[in-house]
Structure 1
Amino acid sequence: MNPTIEYINRSRALLTTIEQQADAIQQAAQWFSQTILAGRMVHLFGSGHSRIMVEEMWPRYGSFPGFNPIVELSLSFHNLVVGANGQRQAMFLENVPGLADRILRNFDLSEQDSALVISSSGCNVVPIEMAELFQQRGIRVVALITKEHAEASTSKRQDGKKLSDFADLILDTGAPVGDAMLTIPGLDTPVAPGSTVGGAVLVNCIKAEVARLLTEAGHPPTVLSAGNVVGTERAVSLFESAYDEHAHRLAKLYERVGVPSYVSESTESVSQQQP
């Protein structure tokens, strides 16, 4: 079969797998919409190529504020491949214990928050520890993995636990073991991964369901939209409003983080005085 046609056919199979998870998608959207309606943020994290799904959720056309994309360049900056900031270093760092704690040290987390942690294998240390730390803070975790690949993979954690062990809900991209979906005659290694296709579909399904729930709750989201759809003036207004809302939500994650200072103490004093 022509590789293009075969890849398209296999991608259709991924859609079937995702369709069978409609109830789980609805549940994730319920949790995320509750977080956003509370004025908090849904934390998004993925190392390596899982960063793609983080940025697919926010910010881009057709998306809206309420999500906190946690992207560590040291874990996801791939384009140099070798040399300084190369892929070898990134692959090493995503299995360094304790790094997740250093990342989350920057945020004042709340039980009203929720999280989406993405890892196709579900076996690298940093995303596993991110999910574990979120759960320890009382935050619901949705894990986006490739189930067949994760089950066939070995955790890099010493205790053998995987991302799925620290998830309140698991979503499956539907890709095969090893991710690559095509076998080429004469080539002994498969090519063309599928987890990004499945992952992108999943996050956009969640995004659409969250938008519906927010709208039904009387708080329709401010969606980034193209000028050729809503007109140039409104497109600019939507972008400015959405970015400002993101800043306001993000401010809550920094306001009283970590060690108190005279700034955080004065802010708390002012808030207590307000009716």
Structure 2
Amino acid sequence: MLAKEWLNNARAIMTQIEETQMDNIRKAAEIMADSIEAGRWVHTFGCGHATIPIEEMYPRIGGFVGFHPMIELPLTFFTRITGEMGVHQFVFLERVEGYGIEIMKGYNFDTRDTMWLFSHSGINNVNIDVALEAKKKGMKVIVFGSAAEAKGKQTRHSSGKNIFDIADLVVDSCAPIGDASVSLKNHQDKVGPVSTMAFITCVWMTVTTVAEILAERGVKLYIHPSHNVPGDETAKDRLEEALRVYKERITGV
């Protein structure tokens, strides 16, 4: 069954992440914890399906204040496919050098911030622009992606660097560079991509480690609670508190 083949492939990647990336996940979490403890941000950015881990971590139940999602609408997950905001425009835009520089102009940054980038292949210009600008602004840059698989693949950026070259720290998602992992009879192309599962696995391994570090330091976390649990009378208040703290941090008031 191809369903079980995909499941086995996903499990194998999760095991590989556990066996090879724990040290770097811990190092990444320590850098992020420093930013959040300082009252600053872990900014998160990606393109296409690499926006899914960004949307997954915050805001959502079990997430907490300190992660700032930077999602550029023309580069995010698209549902129209053709026409407005279709695949053709997306593929063009993620390769446009200079677009990431313009994106970065829309936000306020601090040297205590961390930039957390998601890029499967590491070669597209928007992500590289954002990484280079973050470095210029004095931020630590952490990149999650298929670093080992992408090694030697030609960058599209005039700097000659891919995003993994720029990063202060890399966590390898361990996903195959072709992403799709299941061969199909009478077809050249595979089905069953695994990069999203790999990214989400790495995200929650990292975010829970950040939470662990901050809790051990005695830092109060503003966690989004479930508001669907019967009998939890204070859930709404805890959610409002988290949103209030987020608003105060993002506005600087």
Is the TM-score greater than 0.5? Answer: yes
- Which residue number corresponds to residue 9 of structure 1? 8
Describe the superposition over 1:147-172 as per-residue Cα deviations: whole angstroms up to 9, x where unpaired: 24422633211343100111011111
Report the 3-state secondary structure (helix = DSSP H, G, I; strand = E; otherwise coil) of the residue aligned with 2:234: helix
The letter of the residue matching 2:69 is: P
Describe the superposition over 1:177-204 as per-residue Cα deviations: whole angstroms up to 9, x where unpaired: 2111111222221111111001001010
Q: Say if 2:120 and 2:177, in contact at 8 Å, map to a contact too.
A: no
- Which residue number corresponds to residue 50 of structure 1? 50
Measured at CA, do residues 148 and 23 of structure 1 come closer, stay the same or move farther in structure 2, by a change above 3 Å?
A: closer
- Which residue number corresponds to residue 91 of structure 2? 91
- Which residue number corresponds to residue 30 of structure 1? 30
- Which residue number corresponds to residue 176 of structure 2? 176
Alpha-carbon shift at residue 111 of structure 1 (Å): 0.9
Gaps of 5+ in 2: none
Alpha-carbon shift at residue 102 of structure 1 (Å): 1.2
Describe the superposition over 1:240-260 as per-residue Cα deviations: whole angstroms up to 9, x where unpaired: 1111111111113xx8xxxxx
Confirm whether residue 75 of structure 1 aligns to residue 82 of structure 2. Answer: no
Amino-acid identity (%): 35
Partners of 1:89 and 1:236 in 2: how far apart? 40
Partners of 1:227 and 1:94 in 2: how far apart? 37
- Which residue number corresponds to residue 126 of structure 2? 126
Partners of 1:77 and 1:184 in 2: how far apart? 25
Q: How do residues 1-275 of structure 1 correspond to structure 2 at under 5 angstroms? A: 2-19=1-18, 20-151=20-151, 153-229=153-229, 231-252=231-252
Partners of 1:220 and 1:185 in 2: how far apart? 54
Query: RMSD in angstroms over aligned alpha carbons?
Result: 1.6
Q: Say if 1:222 and 1:241, in contact at 8 Å, map to a contact too.
A: yes
The letter of the residue matching 2:16 is: T
Partners of 2:143 and 2:220 in 1: how far apart? 26
Partners of 1:152 and 1:14 in 2: how far apart? 21
Q: Say if 2:49 and 2:77, in contact at 8 Å, map to a contact too.
A: no
Partners of 1:127 and 1:111 in 2: how far apart? 19
Of structures 1 and 2, the larger Rg is shown by 1
Report the 3-state secondary structure (helix = DSSP H, G, I; strand = E; otherwise coil) of the residue aligned with 2:210: helix
Alpha-carbon shift at residue 141 of structure 1 (Å): 0.8
Alpha-carbon shift at residue 223 of structure 1 (Å): 1.4
Describe the superposition over 1:107-147 as per-residue Cα deviations: whole angstroms up to 9, x where unpaired: 22111000111110111100011111111111111101112
Partners of 2:4 and 2:153 in 1: how far apart? 29
Task: Count residues with an aligned counterpart.
Answer: 252
Measured at CA, do residues 37 and 182 of structure 1 come closer, stay the same or move farther in structure 2, by a change above 3 Å?
A: same
Alpha-carbon shift at residue 228 of structure 1 (Å): 4.7
Report the 3-state secondary structure (helix = DSSP H, G, I; strand = E; otherwise coil) of the residue aligned with 1:143: strand
TM-score (norm 1): 0.87
The letter of the residue matching 1:21 is: Q
TM-score (norm 2): 0.94
Report the 3-state secondary structure (helix = DSSP H, G, I; strand = E; otherwise coil) of the residue aligned with 1:233: coil
Partners of 1:126 and 1:25 in 2: how far apart? 24
Partners of 2:177 and 2:92 in 1: how far apart? 22
Measured at CA, do residues 196 and 58 of structure 1 come closer, stay the same or move farther in structure 2, by a change above 3 Å?
A: same
Report the 3-state secondary structure (helix = DSSP H, G, I; strand = E; otherwise coil) of the residue aligned with 2:155: coil
Partners of 1:86 and 1:37 in 2: how far apart? 40
Higher mean C-alpha deviation, range 223-232 or range 140-149 = 223-232
The letter of the residue matching 1:221 is: L
Gaps of 5+ in 1: 256-275
Higher helix fraction (1 or 2): 1
Report the 3-state secondary structure (helix = DSSP H, G, I; strand = E; otherwise coil) of the residue aligned with 2:233: helix
Alpha-carbon shift at residue 230 of structure 1 (Å): 7.9
Alpha-carbon shift at residue 106 of structure 1 (Å): 1.8
